[in-house]
Amino acid sequence: MTRVIHTGDTHIGYRQYHSAERRADFLAAFQRVAADAVEEDVDAVVHAGDLFHDRRPDLQDLLGTLDVLRDLDDADVPFLAIVGNHEGTREGQWLDLFSRMGLATRLDSEGVVIGETTFYGLDHVPVSRREELEYDFSPPETDHTALVAHGLFEPFPYADWDTEALLDSAPVEFDAVLLGDNHHPDRAELGGTWVTYCGSTERASASERDGRGYNLVSFVEGEAHITRRGLDTREFVFVDVELAAGEGTERVLERVGQHDLADRVVIVTVEGEGETVTPAEVESFAREEGALIARVNDKRNVEEGASFDVSFSDPDTAVRARLEEMGLSGAASDIDETVRASKIADTNVRGAVEERVRSLIEEEPEAFETVESESAIEGTETMEDAIASESGTDVTNETDPPDTDGQNAVGHAESTHRPEEASAEGQDQSSMEEYL
């Protein structure tokens, strides 16, 4: 028998709501997963991508992550992982650094044997590059097999990946497909294979109302058995107010005051009729009652007749989905990250963009090749339009772009690195390893 913890979407380093406390919460959730792994004496921790929220994590997030990985290593619990869309870079991955330090194993098409099970990995791949994939997994030497992947897979909501086609194309018959990317835990059986999402370990958006946790997966006698384990994370208080005619801020305050708000994140959603609600007044009241963070989402603040739903408390998900649809080139993604998601001060963004463009033109002109996507086919936006639009937009550095590289995915045979770039990458990783 092989028992593993299946986790993912830990998003370490996410400064949600610009809060240092929330940033610490994401690391703390990962620490609790590792502590459970040691206590349960599992055979491995399997991470399905998005270990970090940012492809350029701060030093304190790296050091905190290393502490957790060292705890697992000291307890002889292997850490197996793949690269998700949030943390994927055009160059070397942080997961490769952890692997060189002996603290992690990056899963790929070759497979890694843990107990009686072989685990394979499939990094996040943008929709526009999936036709290039060849699911060339090496034959297993064990009775059980599992694929770890990151993306939106069928038959779950918002899927853009044909899971049955993957299973039919792969030369390996998987007992389970362990997924990351969808923060909602779920499972389904397709032709005798269990396909499951572990969900995120912390609430990364106001829409994630259910408790957080991970999967405990056992491989025994030719079958995979999946159970759900909860995590003790910071509490969110969701206050949904349906205002009647004549009701307004006072009614909202009354409803909010009915809850214990101490050290909690408070999300207030207002619908119905009634009068105008002042969000600042409601948020100030909640903080005075001890709330760590308070946000008001008045759904009535949408133009009459509009066919979409807007959440002002957390736009990250919508931004990431739109970028995925655009199918940006590698250069456009780099520039997008510099403008929106990097830790460069706002006053220095223009200079950083100019410097990055010059560097790409001189050293990697092929990075400007447009990636064909559904949006490009429909003519909604060109790569040049995207660059001009993003670099000229005055926005805050709060959200993160998805990965548009995918060069390390299973079956993607060609790397865009030239030999001299690979050498420089190795030197950088070696220097970082010595520093840490």
Please write the tens of the pLDDT for every residue from 207-263. Answer: 999 999 999 999 999 899 999 999 999 999 999 999 999 999 999 999 999 999 999
pLDDT of 70 reads: 98
Last residue of a domain, one of 230, 253, 271: 230
pLDDT of 316 reads: 57
pLDDT higher than 80, residue 388: no
pLDDT of 91 reads: 67
- 212 and 252 assigned to the same domain: no
Cα distances (Å, whole numbers) of residue 140 to 4, 106, 114, 195: 18, 17, 12, 19
* Domain encompassing residue 256: 236-298
pLDDT higher than 70, residue 299: yes
Q: Is residue 132 included in any domain, yes or no?
A: yes
Q: Is residue 40 included in any domain, yes or no?
A: yes
- Confidence class for position 361, pLDDT limits 50, 70, 90: low
State the average pLDDT over residues 279-305: 89
CATH of the domain at 107: 3.60.21.10
Q: Are 275 and 249 in contact (CB under 8 A)?
A: yes
d(CA 432, CA 436): 6
Catalytic center residues: 86
d(CA 422, CA 91): 8
- 246 and 328 assigned to the same domain: no
- 283 and 325 assigned to the same domain: no
Most confidently modeled range among 97-101, 331-335, 379-383, 408-412 = 97-101
Q: Which two three-digit tokens encode residue 429?
A: 């990783």
pLDDT of 47 reads: 98
pLDDT of 128 reads: 81
pLDDT of 334 reads: 58
State the average pLDDT over residues 329-356: 58
Q: Is residue 154 included in any domain, yes or no?
A: yes
State the average pLDDT over residues 6-32: 97
- 241 and 138 assigned to the same domain: no
Q: Are 176 and 191 in contact (CB under 8 A)?
A: no
- 242 and 224 assigned to the same domain: no
DSSP 17: G
Cα distances (Å, whole numbers) of residue 415 to 133, 258, 362, 391: 13, 57, 18, 27
- Confidence class for position 428, pLDDT limits 50, 70, 90: very low
Return the higher-pLDDT residue of 356 and 157.
157
Return the higher-pLDDT residue of 347 and 430.
347
Return the higher-pLDDT residue of 392 and 103.
103
Each residue's pLDDT tens digit, 109-119:
999 999 999 99
pLDDT higher than 90, residue 347: no
**Counted domains in the chain:** 3
- Helix orientation angle between 59-74 and 20-40, rounded to the nearest 10 degrees: 10
3-state helix, strand and coil shares in percent for the chain, rounded to the nearest 5: 35, 20, 45
d(CA 106, CA 346): 35
CB atoms within 10 A of CB 215: 24
- 224 and 327 assigned to the same domain: no
Look-up of token digits 């650094």: 97
- 250 and 226 assigned to the same domain: no
Q: Are 323 and 402 in contact (CB under 8 A)?
A: yes
pLDDT of 363 reads: 52
The DSSP result for 79-145, as a single string, is EEE---TTT--SS--HHHHHHHTTS-EE--TT-EEETTEEEEEE----GGGGGG----PPPPSSSEE
Q: Is residue 177 included in any domain, yes or no?
A: yes
pLDDT higher than 80, residue 333: no
Instruction: Please give the single-letter amino acid code of residue 320.
Output: R
Lowest model confidence (mean pLDDT) among 27-31, 85-89, 102-106, 390-394? 390-394
pLDDT of 403 reads: 35
pLDDT of 421 reads: 36
- Confidence class for position 55, pLDDT limits 50, 70, 90: confident
- 246 and 292 assigned to the same domain: yes
Q: What is the percent of the chain where pLDDT is above 90?
A: 61
Last residue of a domain, one of 230, 258, 277: 230
- 22 and 127 assigned to the same domain: yes
3-state SS assignment for residue 14: coil
d(CA 339, CA 323): 14
Each residue's pLDDT tens digit, 122-166:
999 888 888 888 889 999 999 999 999 999 999 998 999 999 999
- 164 and 273 assigned to the same domain: no
pLDDT higher than 70, residue 324: no
Each residue's pLDDT tens digit, 156-181:
989 999 999 999 999 999 999 999 99
Q: What is the percent of the chain where pLDDT is above 70?
A: 68
d(CA 333, CA 122): 21
Q: Which two three-digit tokens encode residue 43?
A: 């055979």
Q: Is residue 147 included in any domain, yes or no?
A: yes
Q: Is residue 304 included in any domain, yes or no?
A: no
d(CA 180, CA 81): 11
Q: Is residue 343 included in any domain, yes or no?
A: yes
- 16 and 90 assigned to the same domain: yes
State the average pLDDT over residues 4-31: 97
- 225 and 260 assigned to the same domain: no
- Confidence class for position 353, pLDDT limits 50, 70, 90: low
Q: Is residue 404 included in any domain, yes or no?
A: no
pLDDT of 92 reads: 73
Last residue of a domain, one of 230, 256, 271: 230
